[in-house]
Amino acid sequence: MRREGPSRASNSAPAGGGEAAKPRARGEHASQRVKRWLWFALAAATVAIVLFPIYWMIVTSLLPSSIVLSRNPPLLPPLEHVSLDAFAGVFRRRPVLTWILNSALVAIGSTLVSLVIAALAGYSLSRWQTRAQKVAGAALLLTKMLPGSLIVVPFFVMFTTAHLIDTRAALVAANVAVGVPFATWMMKGFFDTLPRELEQAAAIDGCTPLQALWYVILPLARPGLAACAIYLAIVAWSEFVFARTLVTRAELWTVTVGLQSFVGEYLVDWPALMAAGVVSLAPMLVLFLLLEPFLVSGLTSGAVKQ
């Protein structure tokens, strides 16, 4: 009888503790749900703030100027006033397709040239850690810190001497000079994740260093190449300073320079300007949708050194 008392007490204590732990567990679960919803609300608010300029650009392109320039423009466009006249007028009055073609040629040319240079330079910085390599890498970072408005004058002097003013080659060369530094460091990050044993195995099989790079390393670095390609294409597509300074002929204008033509001295045609802006976003949106899987995997793989 004396031994049963303590055993009953000991058996009842965990039961009481378990009953007390249940409200605590429910409280922790509720707090986790609240935190999860707060993070979701914060993410939704951030996305809304980021996408609101694009939304407002689309709304402005669909409404007449009288409503857009009113004292209290509607946040949601009234359906009875929605029209595509601004888009039709843009293609009818301005050579938008010519601007898009010029921007596409400049973006494709500068992206291909920059990608080749950045891949070779990034591979060199990744595999050889000499003092000269470190100096070259630091020099690339320093050139990236220079604003475009500072280097456009030397570019103009050089291209004038070389008779390259009013040519697409001048825009390609300028965009290559701007895009290569950052793209080189991006490619270096991707190459750092690939083990050196791959080149050693290729050398045993009889490959030269360039053959190992072409047949072994670059196929594995395709996510990094795609990430650099989309970065370089966006930089070249949205560039304005060089395109405005190095090209004066209207038939060679890019999209960014053409959009400026909608801004007059006393009047701005906002619906037409926003309609042209929406059209100019379409190629980059398509490119991003096509390369988005490579971009995400490339950025994550190059961010962590294994």
Which residue has 């986790």 as its token pair? 32
pLDDT in tens, 226-257: 888 888 999 999 999 999 999 988 899 999 99
Alpha-carbon distances of 63 from 12, 53, 218, 281, rounded to whole Å: 74, 15, 49, 19
| DSSP SS3 for 193 | coil
Q: Encoding tokens for residue 95?
A: 């050579």
From CA 219, how far away is CA 211, in angstroms rounded? Answer: 12
Q: Encoding tokens for residue 207?
A: 């490959």
Exposed, middle or buried: residue 165 (CB in 10 Å: 0-12, 13-18, 19+)?
Answer: middle
At 31, is the pLDDT very low, low, confident or very high (cuts 50, 70, 90)?
Answer: confident
Nearest 5°: the CA angle 295, 201, 188 is 35
Please check the confidence at residue 287 and state whether its pLDDT lies above 60: yes
Please check the confidence at residue 304 and state whether its pLDDT lies above 60: no
Contact 241, 93 (CB under 8 A): no
CATH topology of domain 85-303: MetI-like fold (1.10.3720)
At 44, is the pLDDT very low, low, confident or very high (cuts 50, 70, 90)?
Answer: very high
| DSSP SS3 for 263 | strand
> What are residue 268's DSSP bridge partners?
263
The predicted structure's pLDDT at residue 102 = 94
* Residue extents of the structural domains in the chain: 4-81, 85-303
The predicted structure's pLDDT at residue 1 = 44
Exposed, middle or buried: residue 110 (CB in 10 Å: 0-12, 13-18, 19+)?
Answer: buried
Contact 256, 276 (CB under 8 A): no
Nearest in space to 280 (alpha carbons), one of 240, 246, 251, 247: 240
At 189, is the pLDDT very low, low, confident or very high (cuts 50, 70, 90)?
Answer: confident
Average pLDDT (124-141) is: 82
Q: Which of 25-39, 87-101, 200-214 has the lowest mean pLDDT?
A: 25-39
Average pLDDT (133-150) is: 80
Q: What is the mean pLDDT of the chain?
A: 82
